[in-house]
Amino acid sequence: MLKDLQVAGAFDTKLEAYEYAVKNYEPGTFMVQEVKHGKGNYTQTFRTQVKFISGKNEGH
């Protein structure tokens, strides 16, 4: 279980990690991530669609 860019705990199951986290931290401030042995298990890619809206009207 990760909190503030650090490992905050290691658990036998994802459920145990989640239950600990929700009892001790605010929602949205932690991440539960499974860790396995092997090179193919430590690289993860996250994709998102983000739209930035400026405060300027830019001529419209």
Q: Cβ(35)–Cβ(42) under 8 Å?
A: yes
pLDDT for residue 23: 96
Domain ranges (residues) in the chain:
2-41
User: In a 3-state reduction of DSSP, which class is residue 21?
Assistant: helix
SS3 content of the chain, % helix, strand, coil (to 5): 25, 10, 65
Mean pLDDT of 4-25: 94
pLDDT surpassing 60 at residue 60: no
pLDDT for residue 43: 67
pLDDT for residue 21: 95
